[in-house]
Amino acid sequence: MDINTKYTPKTWPDHAEQVTLEGKNKFVGIWIFICSDIVLFASVFATYLALKDSGPSGMDITAKELFGLELAFVMTMLLLTSSLTSVYAMYHMKNFNSKGVLIWMGITVLLGLGFLGLEIYEFYEYTVHEGFGFTHSAFSSAFYLLVGTHGLHVIIGLIWITGLIIRNAKRGLNLYNAPKFFAASIYWHFIDVVWVFIFTVVYLMGVLG
C-alpha cells in the first residue's frame, strides 16, 4: 500500500475506506467487534433490569425517585448531535476534504467531552448528594456498571478520535488513514445507539416506574 500516492478529489475513490485489503479488513473487523460489543452490552442491560431497585432490605432509593429526565435529555442531545457531526466528517472524507474531516471530527470530540462531563457530574451528584454510591446496593452497582461501561466506551472513542486528528492533522487524507477515520466513526455511532438504549431503559423506564 503506497501511503505517498497523492490524490485529488477527482482521483479519490468512492469508498476510500475499503479500497485496500487493510481497509476492508478494518471495515469488516470493526463490525464484527461491534457485534461482540452488542452482546456485552446486552448482558449488562439484562443484569441491570434484573437488579433494578433491588438492594438490602429497607433500601429506600428507587429508580423512580432517583432519575430525572432533564440532564439525561441534554446528554442524549449532545451525543446524538456528535453522531451527526461524525457523519459530516465522513461526508467530507468522501469528497476528499481533509480539513472538513478534521473540523467535524473535532466538533464530535467536543460534544463527546460535553457528554462525558455531564455524566461525571451526574455520578458525582448521585454518589455525594444522594448517598447512592457504587457499593450502596445491587441496584447501584448495576447502574454504575451499565452507564459506566458506556462511559468507558466514550472515553476510548474520544482518545481514539483525538489521536487520529492529531496524527493526521498535517498530512491530509490517504488510503492508509481513511479506513481509520471510517472505523472510528462507525464505533462512535455504535456508542450513540447504545446510549439511546440506556436513555430508554434506565432513565425513561426508570422515571415511568
Smallest gap from Cβ 49 to another protein, in A, equals 10
- Assess 43 for contact with another protein (CB under 8 A): yes
- Assess 1 for contact with another protein (CB under 8 A): yes
Residues 149-178 touching another protein, rule: CB under 8 A, are 159-160, 163-164, 167, 176
CA distance 154 to 78: 12
Of the residues 87, 145, 205, 207, which one makes contact with another protein according to CB under 8 A: 145
Contact indicator for 183, 26 with CB cutoff of 8 Å: yes
Q: Give burial (CB, 10 Å; 0-12/13-18/19+) of 57.
A: exposed
CA distance 140 to 206: 13
Smallest gap from Cβ 119 to another protein, in A, equals 18
CA distance 183 to 180: 5
Residues engaged in binding another protein (CB under 8 A): 1, 3, 21, 24-25, 28-29, 32-33, 35-37, 39-40, 43-44, 46-47, 50-51, 54-56, 59, 134-142, 145, 159-160, 163-164, 167, 176, 180
